[in-house]
Amino acid sequence: MTEPEGEERVRYGVIGTGMMGVEHINNLLAIDGAAVAAIADPEPLSLDFAHHAVGIDAPLERFADHRDLIASEACDAVVIASPNHTHHDILLDVLASPLHVLVEKPLCTTVADCRDVVEAAADGPAGRVVWMGLEYRYMPPTQRLMEEIAAGTVGNVRMVAIREHRFPFLHKVGNWNRFTRNTGGTLVEKCCHYFDLMNVVVGVRPRRVVASGAQDVNHLDEEYDGEIPDIIDNAYVVVEYENGVRAMLDLCMFAEASKNEQELCVVGDEGRVEALVSESIVRIGRRADGIGRTTEHPVADPRVQFEGFHHGSSYLEHLDFLAAIRSGSPPAVTLEDGLWSVAIGQAGHRSIEEGRWVDIAELFT
């Protein structure tokens, strides 16, 4: 790692050093100008996991409690990668300090908790960067899809269809992800990424949501302290936006036998663009070119130095987070973005439970 001339390295602390925390550490270690200075996690094995990633002889402060990391003054910025239900309280503690912060998705498990932290962030010191970790925006094929839409390739966007067909939820430390009370539910925990992409592509607020979903296949034979997991593993979710655009999510979490984990398709009045994430291909079809005519574009971002589990998107997200810290510029992805992605997920769960359309406004009363 080389240091940028004339600039101090930004010192990061990572709160929650399980799978995603260590993915953040590996990304930061690959970035010039970033240093991992401290870690916090109540689980000693997770601290050891992270310490090995940083290098067992590297200078690193270890804490069982995130409040001690904040007080240590060892860091300029923190990444929060602890379980979803802990984000609210940890973020409030971080926001009471001057530290820059990137919080992993979902922002919180409910709209009410998201609103709390959005409010707390509004009072922060000037130049402090508060960044919402929604790195699917940074996947190279997703970025290309958004560039094509911005360039007018498909005309006015009318429909957005996102399919995620993937493997079941992995095992997590203490099995926190097996229960909706900890995750906010699958549509919040997993699908906030896709609802965020819909929100970006459509560009106005979501108005109402209807969904059908269930836990049909996964985790039914598991038991934790006498409790069977309650997380849904498949759903269709339809979102209507204020401008009449409609979007749909097709989620299946027992479909690892598929070529692409994510397929995003946006159709406008002049054409269609799709991003196939595992293949890293963007396919474009313009109506003016005739029926069945498409062009296919392999996509890669040469800046990516670490692929990780998310096709290099976390690395690209960190480059922008670091650039914002250095320049004091506002975040490209905000806590409000996080709130609106959680809102669609929460509305989806309410729709499944109550069998009706749910107005997003209901979640704000």
Nearest distance from C-beta of residue 100 to ligand NAD, angstroms? 18
- Dihedral (C-alpha) 147, 148, 151, 157: value to the nearest 10 degrees? -110
Q: Is 83 in the site for ligand NAD (CB under 6 A)?
A: yes
Nearest distance from C-beta of residue 300 to ligand NAD, angstroms? 20
Nearest distance from C-beta of residue 40 to ligand NAD, angstroms? 5
CB 60 within 8 Å of CB 30: no
Bridge pairing between strands 246-252 and 262-268: unpaired
Distance CA 243, CA 223 (A): 45
Distance CA 148, CA 138 (A): 15
Q: Is 82 in the site for ligand NAD (CB under 6 A)?
A: yes
What single-letter DSSP state applies at residue 281? E
Asked if omega into 125 is within 30° of 0 (cis), the reply is no
Q: Is 15 in the site for ligand NAD (CB under 6 A)?
A: yes
Q: Which is nearer to ligand NAD, 67 or 128 (CB)?
A: 67
Long-range contacts of 212-215 (CB under 8 A, 24+ apart): 212/236, 212/352, 213/186, 213/187, 213/237, 213/251, 213/348, 213/352, 214/352
Of 17-25, 117-125, 228-236, 351-359, the segment contacting ligand NAD by CB under 6 A is 17-25
Q: Is 124 in the site for ligand NAD (CB under 6 A)?
A: no
Q: Is 172 in the site for ligand NAD (CB under 6 A)?
A: yes
Nearest distance from C-beta of residue 63 to ligand NAD, angstroms? 9
Q: Which is nearer to ligand NAD, 148 or 317 (CB)?
A: 317
Q: Which is nearer to ligand NAD, 283 or 310 (CB)?
A: 310
Q: Is 81 in the site for ligand NAD (CB under 6 A)?
A: yes
Q: Which structure tokens are listed for 146? A: 């958004």
- Dihedral (C-alpha) 296, 154, 163, 182: value to the nearest 10 degrees? 130
Identify the burial level of 278 via C-beta atoms within 10 angstroms of its C-beta, where 0-12 means exposed, 13-18 middle and 19 or more buried.
middle
Q: Which is nearer to ligand NAD, 234 or 341 (CB)?
A: 341
Q: What backbone phi and psi angles, to 5 degrees, belong to 247?
A: -135, 155
Of 83-91, 198-206, 281-289, 334-342, the segment contacting ligand NAD by CB under 6 A is 83-91
Closest-approach residue to ligand NAD (CB): 18
Of 77-85, 140-148, 244-252, 333-341, the segment contacting ligand NAD by CB under 6 A is 77-85
Of 38-46, 91-99, 149-157, 234-242, the segment contacting ligand NAD by CB under 6 A is 38-46
Q: Which structure tokens are listed for 30? A: 């690959």
Between residue 293 and residue 332, which ones bind ligand NAD under the rule CB under 6 A? 310
Distance CA 120, CA 117 (A): 5
Q: Is 114 in the site for ligand NAD (CB under 6 A)?
A: no
Question: What are the residues binding ligand NAD (CB under 6 A)?
Answer: 15-21, 40-43, 46, 66, 81-84, 86, 104-105, 133, 135, 172-173, 189, 310
